[in-house]
A and B are shown apart, each in its own frame.
Chain A
Amino acid sequence: DADVTQTPRNRITKTGKRIMLECSQTKGHDRMYWYRQDPGLGLRLIYYSFDVKDINKGEISDGYSVSRQAQAKFSLSLESAIPNQTALYFCATRAQVAGGPGEQFFGPGTRLTVL
């Protein structure tokens, strides 16, 4: 079984709809992240969380909200989806380690299309 899972894997929605993307991890890591990736571009950080009570904005948080329901679950919501939020969304986790930032583990991605 995958360590970081994302649901749904694909989603088509309409402008103005509320949508939630979910991420679960079995790695026991404290830190979780949401990124979006547009074609030909790198990943941009939306939100990140150090633990259940500690959530922080990333580079592009406008139009998004998150919820850390448990150590293993981190959800991303689009309150009112718009077409320019069409992108590939990745969830990631990272453990706190000594001697370096450590490794991020990414989920398989959710492809979101907003019509």
Chain B
Amino acid sequence: LAKTTQPISMDSYEGQEVNITCSHNNIATNDYITWYQQFPSQGPRFIIQGYKTKVTNEVASLFIPADRKSSTLSLPRVSLSDTAVYYCLVGAVWSRDDKIIFGKGTRLHILP
């Protein structure tokens, strides 16, 4: 299973763009990259998922370089409500060994 490494914490200001990078040097060919957001005492919530290049949805963008050994979650124009823990996960498609591993995540604190 691919292990991920993220910064433990980050601070930013309202209205700024925030980029959180995740390293996954031993990502396997079939692995996808998924990001989740978690607020205190709530279950994680799916943000975005991708395999290569760039994926964008209504809340975030995910940038994946050609070697796929890292990925960057980009949150445009953050607000105070984006203060949360963000998890980067790497997992395979249709894997019978379906152990979706959450690391410790990145604690993002948005300042006014």
- A26 interface residue (CB < 8 Å to B): no
Most chain A beta carbons < 10 A, residue from B41, B43, B100: B43
Q: How far is the CA of A107 from the CA of B102 in the complex (A)?
A: 16
In contact, A106 and B44 (Cβ under 8 angstroms): yes
* Consensus secondary structure, chain B interface: loop
Shortest beta-carbon distance, B91 to chain A, in Å?
5
- A82 interface residue (CB < 8 Å to B): no
Q: How large is the interface on B (under 10, 10 to 19, 20 to 34, 35 or more residues)?
A: 20 to 34
Closest to A6 in B: B43
Shortest beta-carbon distance, B35 to chain A, in Å?
11
- Out of B43, B51, B93, B103, name the residue touching A42 (CB < 8 Å): B103
In contact, A58 and B102 (Cβ under 8 angstroms): no
Chain A residues whose C-beta falls within 8 Å of the C-beta of B95 in the assembled complex: 101
Query: B58-102 vs A: 1/0 string, CB under 8 Å?
Result: 000000000000000000000000000001000111111011111
In contact, A44 and B102 (Cβ under 8 angstroms): yes
**Given A42-B105, A96-B94, are A90 and B43 neighbors across the interface (CB < 8 Å)?**
yes
**Given A100-B49, A108-B43, A109-B43, are A42 and B104 neighbors across the interface (CB < 8 Å)?**
yes
Closest to A111 in B: B41
- A74 interface residue (CB < 8 Å to B): no
- Out of A42, A44, A101, A109, name the residue touching B32 (CB < 8 Å): A101
**Given A100-B49, A106-B44, A107-B43, are A42 and B102 neighbors across the interface (CB < 8 Å)?**
yes
Q: What are 26 A-B pairs at a CB distance below 8 A? A: A33-B100, A35-B102, A42-B103, A42-B104, A43-B102, A45-B99, A45-B100, A45-B102, A59-B101, A96-B94, A100-B32, A100-B93, A101-B32, A101-B49, A101-B91, A101-B93, A101-B100, A104-B36, A104-B44, A104-B46, A104-B100, A106-B42, A107-B43, A108-B43, A109-B41, A111-B41
